[in-house]
Structure 1
């Protein structure tokens, strides 16, 4: 059949004509919310003739650090000459950020073609007893179909959305599973204890598939150890089977030694900031070593070291303006707040610290603020442009109460719900020797990053 006739048939069937229309359809599935469970995804894979079975995945779960680990893995594989697909979430600026080939976003024409193939199948599942697939489920299916039948990467770096066991990404059987860490996030869905959260994350462990983890809480690690043992999966745990040792640390340059059961790698350099990035880098290196041992992955040492140094990850301790200095960071839970506070103490120098914060209403804000408030001179509470946003005035009330508790009565707490106005306010307050930080939900970080770097609004979606 000619291309023209195919296009006419697609149009007749009500197919989307542009990538923007396709994205708009997917994003408008957000009100269907989050529906933990794999039945809809399994049905979509069945209707697509199981494209996931054609791909080699590295599955990455965890509370924090997933995106950075995915960035390290992608860069090492790419610089080693492999074609690598990457699926991450939420995206920072554009919907297509989440589906990448060799670091480049999925092309609009490929997205359009894949969505037009998948939409009738999504509608079929929606009409069944299983109900409407969610925005994230559809996005996951689009990524799998694109990688399997359009891009053909050698490897797919595959980040979970939330949890693991019932996450839509868990329809795959990977070469290696990675669980970065366990923290207090999404507990309203994953469970109200660290053990319950760990059990959900450990749900990505598959029979016989090796697992890498940096989880350090004894109760969480025990859950992962028992799950791995029950699946006959070899577990490589930080500070047990592998470890890292800091050599030197400065802004935009950290060096560490890496030790594993297979070999040691001295003086690995990274440009991502914060001590937590040493751990993320070590986890990625352990996963690479497993691919070398189990699957004969070819990575030359000089390429490996260059790729680790070259790795970037938008929105994580990223300096996006030098005059005034503005640092953005997507820390949005207590563990993220602790890591950010540590970096602000150890990595950055400043006279005064002016802090802009915007959060979703589903997060644990008091523990986050306990880490940040001892450091700030100005705290500006704002609101992300997102339907689950936390009220800025409510955050300010909490911040003032905590300031009294910890004897930080001199912190200037300001409410400015309009994030663009909050940004202008913090710019006006930040002298050359000061530092401005914008932190909180990635929905805010994405908007701020787009506005400062490109003078445009980011797209939205999870």
Structure 2
């Protein structure tokens, strides 16, 4: 039976309506489990089984790793689908083919194919598929039925084991790192979080990981061993070292089981060295064992050209304004390390806003020692954290972690906070906007004067 003949409600008539319909499923939440996505795929004849996936999980660095993989593969002549979240400017960013967003009209057509099936499942004991499940299904239909990429770079939404993206059987898996994020869902220890990420490891499919904490790495290696999957771990099976760095980029030397290689990156941030090395190791596995034809010069060019919005992104040079979506303790530590290793400035002015779903003490412990002026605000999002509550956390840590002269301003309205922030940055200073990507997205659109910016998970 054709999926358009289910006698469901009226079809969607515009891109905006399609996005509203998908986002309208947000109240159904994030419900771990694969039953609904499996039922959806069954209704469409299991299209994901026709595709080759590189599955990427991890706490931080997933998006950048996906960007490196995509850039290098496209440069080598492969057609590449890239599915990522959250998006920073427009809903269509999540579904890319050869670096270009899905066309609005294609998203509308696929939403109309999915809608009757989603409504059918909503009437069963499974309940309605969620926003993320429908987005994942839409990505699979786009790649399997519309554009037919050679390979799909496939980012997990949350965790791994029970994440809806885990319906696929990849050709290689990547676990970037493990940190303290989404602990309400994934568990309250690094071992528990690592076990969720390790859930993407499939029988006989090699896995590359940058996980460094011994207790977390042990879980990943044990899972790989159990599933007879070869594990390539940073610091054990492959190595990298920084060879140069400045405000405009950095380079690294990679040493792996098959060879050594030098890479230059335009992406800033110490943590991008780790992401690039993991992505390169995954490409080495494809080259060595899966007959991927990868030319060294093209691969190097792909890494050098890779751009990822909102990650140590210099959006203005006079005065310098840097955006970094660090929103958990590990992200803050990486941001602090990067600021200390590659940047010179007079004062550091930090503007930040967070979601209320996380604890932010450890975030402040990493970044406060560097800050001269802190402006706390609120993202335009339903789960925002009160700016005054954030300021209280910073005040509580002032004596032990902050500079004596630290100035703290509370401005809940992010636009007013941005005006204050811009006025505070002197010619020699550095302004940093950090925190949840919901804030980064809005501030970035304002600074770059992007009128049609959307944002979301």
TM-score w.r.t. length of structure 2:
0.97
2:249 aligns to what?
253
Secondary structure of the residue aligned to 2:346 is coil
User: How far apart are the structure 2 equivalents of 1:396 and 1:297?
Assistant: 51
- The 5 A counterparts of 1:238-277 are 238-265=234-261, 267-277=262-272
SS of aligned partner of 2:448? helix
Q: Which of 278, 282, 291 is the equivalent residue of 1:287?
A: 282
1:154 Cα offset (Å): 0.4
Cα pair distance change 1:59/1:407, threshold 3 Å:
closer
Pairwise CA distance, 1:457: 6.0
Structure 2 counterpart of 1:404: 399
Give 5+ residue unaligned stretches, structure 1: 1-5
Match of 1:108 among 104, 107, 118: 104
Other structure's SS at 1:58 match = strand
Which of 120, 143, 149 is the equivalent residue of 2:139?
143
Which range moved further: 333-342 or 397-406?
397-406
Q: Residues 190 and 239 of structure 1: is their aligned pair in 2 closer, same or farther, counting only changes over 3 Å?
A: same
3-state DSSP class of the match of 1:53?
A: helix
Report the secondary structure of 1:426's partner residue.
helix
The C-alpha deviation readout for 1:400-431, integer Å capped at 9, x for no partner, is 11112335332101100111111110101111
Q: Deviations over 1:7-39 (max 9, x none)?
A: x99999511111111001111111211101111
Question: Does residue 340 of the first structure (1) align with residue 335 of the second (2)?
Answer: yes
Measured in 2, the distance between the counterparts of 1:129 and 1:335 equals: 39
How far apart, in 2, do the equivalents of 1:113 and 1:455 lie?
Answer: 26
Q: Is the 8 A contact 2:372 2:403 kept in 1?
A: no
The match for 2:368 is 373
Instruction: State whether structure 2 residue 423 is matched by structure 1 residue 428.
Output: yes
Which whole-Å deviations, capped at 9, do the CAs of 1:266-324 have from their partners, x for residues lacking one?
x3111111111111100000000111112110111110111110011000000111222
2:24 counterpart of 1:28: yes
- Match of residue 36, structure 2, among 26, 37, 40: 40
Partners of 2:417 and 2:7 in 1: how far apart? 45
1:208 matched to 2:200? The reply is: no
Of 177, 188, 194, 1:192 maps to 188
d(CA) in 2 for partners of 1:407, 1:47:
57
Please point out which of 80, 89, 92 is paired with 1:84: 80
* Partner secondary structure for residue 212 of structure 1: strand
Q: In the alignment, which residue of structure 2 is the partner of 1:453?
A: 448
For the 8 Å contact 1:30–1:461, the answer to whether it is kept is: no
Task: Please say if 1:172 is aligned against 2:168.
Answer: yes
**C-alpha distance in structure 2 between counterparts of 1:209 and 1:456, whole Å:** 43
TM-score w.r.t. the length of structure 1 is 0.96
Determine the C-alpha separation between the residues in 2 that align with 1:83 and 1:385. 36
Structure 1 residues 207 and 129: CA distance shift in structure 2, 3 A: same
Return the match for 2:10 from 8, 14, 18. 14
Distance 1:238 1:10, change over 3 A: same
Contact 2:8 2:116 in 1 (8 A): no
Partner of 2:230: 234
Does the residue aligned with 1:110 lie in a helix, a strand or coil?
helix
- Aligned partners of 2:215, 2:366: CA distance in 1, in Å? 23
Summarize deviations over 1:65-88 as a string: whole Å, max 9, x none.
Answer: 101100000000111111100000
Instruction: Encode CA deviations 1:143-183: one digit per residue, 9 max, x unaligned.
Output: 01111000100000000011000001000000000000000
Q: Could you tell me whether the CA contact under 8 Å between 2:6 and 2:116 is conserved in 1? A: no
- Residue 121 (structure 2) pairs with residue 125 (structure 1): yes
SS of structure 1 residue aligned to 2:411: strand
Q: Secondary structure at the match of 1:208?
A: coil
Over 3 Å counting, the alpha-carbon distance change for 1:133 and 1:179 in structure 2 is: same
Aligned length: 455
**Gaps in structure 2 of 5+ consecutive residues:** none
Match of 2:296 among 301, 310, 315: 301
Report the 3-state secondary structure (helix = DSSP H, G, I; strand = E; otherwise coil) of the residue aligned with 1:364: coil
